[in-house]
Structure 1
Amino acid sequence: MHMDMSLPELKQYQGKNPKPTNFDWYWEASLDELKELSLGYEITAADMAISDVTLYHLTFTGIGGVRVHVKWAKPHRPTGQAVVMFHGYGVDSGDWLEKIAYAKEGIHVFAMDCRGQGGLSEDAIVTIGPTVRGHIIRGLKDQDPKNLYYRSVFLDAAHLVKIIQTIDGIDSNRIGSYGQSQGGALALAVASLVPEIKKTYSVYPFLSDYKRAWEMDVTNSAYEEISFYFRNVDPMHEKADETFLKLGYIDLQHLASRIKSEVIMVTGMRDAICPPSTQFAVFNKLNTKKTHHLYPEHGHEYIPLHADEAFNYFRSL
């Protein structure tokens, strides 16, 4: 049974959410804005002692002057490698355990809390539209697409990598990005904005092909807030084209062609939360060394073996 398109159709699918004509300018201008920020950061020791690893809470200032929180597992015998980790929608950077495993191998780990979600990062976005039910829709009613929430989060991720590249003992060309769902999207987004990222491991990424997601069973997916937005802001869909075009600025499929890192993507073929077609829209537009692991019986859930594979993948950064 197919919950989405057939596999041959998926392998040819190119997405349907529109791309703004000034998309490339939008992100180049955003990266120029990022250059104005300080690469400084502050650290405090975490309340946990582990042999061969020191654990820190790192904070830096992101777009809009907010303080962004990051967990840093610093190895005592570093190899020069680093991995940035990103969490799923609405939660936080997670426990230390997985990060410690990497640090024990000499790999620095930096796990960022997305602003305004479940962790310690601040959020200072002021918008005129709704903010309830999710972050995709934040800034959609504003005339300026600079106020889209995920623009700020993508830039936070990029700024974090720029900071990591300044840290003694880290090779700026031996950095990887890793995450699942929202985190899988951010792992790809940061690779698109920071070309030095060497390896990316993205598990069922979110934030892609919004129009396709809306056409499916959107109210039972991670994209349900799009339906909420239309119901309350544009119930007759009089501005639907404008809405999807604005979402195009933060559509991962349109960033995919910028990625230079090697990419492994993982997709559960029964994923009803982030439908496979929205993920294939990204994968099919990657112009780099890439591998797509497909799990026919799995959805948006625990995927066996992938965490161990990711660990070995990043050990060879």
Structure 2
Amino acid sequence: MPLVDMSLEQLQNYEGSSPRPADFDEYWDRALAEMRAVDPQIELIPSSFQVPYAECFDLYFTGVRGARIHAKYIKPKNAAEPHPAVVQFHGYTGHSGHWQDKLGYAALGYSFFSLDCRGQGGYSEDTGGVKGTTHQGHIIRGLDDHPDQLLFRHIFLDTAQLAGIAMQMPEVDAEQVMAMGGSQGGALTIACAALEPRIKKLAPVFPFLSDYKRVWQMDLAKDAYAELRAFFRHFDPQHKREEEIFTKLGYIDIQFLASRIRGEVLFATGLMDTVCPPSTQFAIYNKITSEKSMEIYPDFGHEDLPGFSDMTMQFFLGNK
């Protein structure tokens, strides 16, 4: 089999290359305290898109640093209450997607929430200096500031806050909330389940935002990781601050959050992935201590993995 990374045996024993900040746990405990102190000011606005068997809403809440965050919310009609729910996260620079592709879960009697990441392609605000959007460059936002200013810190907190809001809905069974997403969405699925450990099951697909130093060592700081190369070229061209920079990125490296997960994990990866290299994904998976399994696609890269969406639905239904 062709290789773009380590052998499968090596991957199964790989523990990551990036440095973990010494105060990582305190950092995230402090961040969660900030999130819990926010008044979310939840607003539900009926969407112009409606179907006979569910109600569709634009959901807004206030996240950390005052940003108004948007998510699509689909509530099934005539479903038993409380019922399960799914929270979904999208790829980098994308948005929450179309209503119609989420209706399968509503037809099963599940509530469904789909987040717009702040400052990307949807309706959530980025309050980092200006109102409105920034679209990309989010990995490096805050690298020359205090670690509490890292933009992905705020985005990770948004995922946990949305999951908590879902769990507080009277129609939702707080003990049956699932999370899913691919690429950036896979990373946010990991972050969500780590920061809101009541997540029952999660299905991350080739997660982004992991083991940044390994990405650099493989000369793959391009495509989704291109801003890492741009940062060094513009702000540390001789790499005199390399250790400092990779250590600060460690605060938003999801491999270090993985051990906080308590839910059951169904993980998917393609071994030909040159966008989010397999080793960076195994660095996450190998740190998960809860019940877990991985679906491996040897000939696939950062692309649709045939059958995994069906596996995910069956997994959430309890029929894995």
Aligned-pair distance for 1:97?
Answer: 1.8
Judge conservation of contact 1:82–1:109 (CA < 8 Å) in 2: yes
Q: Give the counterpart letter for 2:208 in structure 1.
A: F
Aligned-pair distance for 1:39?
Answer: 4.0
2:53 matches 1:52: yes
Distance 1:123 1:258 in 2: 27
SS of residue paired to 1:81: strand
Count how many residue pairs are aligned between Structure 1 and Structure 2: 313
Identical aligned residues as a percent: 45
1:81-92 alignment runs, 5 A limit: 81-92=84-95
Identify the residue that residue 220 of structure 1 maps to in structure 2. 222
Distance 2:87 2:123 in 1: 17
Identify the residue that residue 289 of structure 1 maps to in structure 2. 291
Identify the residue that residue 14 of structure 1 maps to in structure 2. 15
Corresponding residue to 1:102 among 99, 105, 123: 105
* TM-score of the pair, normalised by structure 2: 0.95
Judge conservation of contact 2:118–2:125 (CA < 8 Å) in 1: yes
Identify the residue that residue 143 of structure 2 maps to in structure 1. 140
Distance 1:96 1:78 in 2: 19
Distance 1:36 1:109 in 2: 25
SS of residue paired to 2:251: helix
Moved more, 18-27 or 133-142: 133-142
Corresponding residue to 1:112 among 95, 111, 115: 115
Aligned-pair distance for 1:218?
Answer: 2.1
Corresponding residue to 2:126 among 123, 126, 136: 123
Judge conservation of contact 2:222–2:229 (CA < 8 Å) in 1: no
Structure 2 unmatched runs, 5+: none
Aligned-pair distance for 1:217?
Answer: 2.6
Distance 2:127 2:197 in 1: 28
Corresponding residue to 1:207 among 209, 217, 221: 209
Aligned-pair distance for 1:309?
Answer: 1.1
Judge conservation of contact 2:93–2:135 (CA < 8 Å) in 1: no
* TM-score of the pair, normalised by structure 1: 0.96
2:281 matches 1:279: yes
Stretches (4+) displaced over 6 A: none
Identify the residue that residue 234 of structure 1 maps to in structure 2. 236
Aligned-pair distance for 1:220?
Answer: 3.4
Identify the residue that residue 158 of structure 1 maps to in structure 2. 160
Identify the residue that residue 305 of structure 1 maps to in structure 2. 307
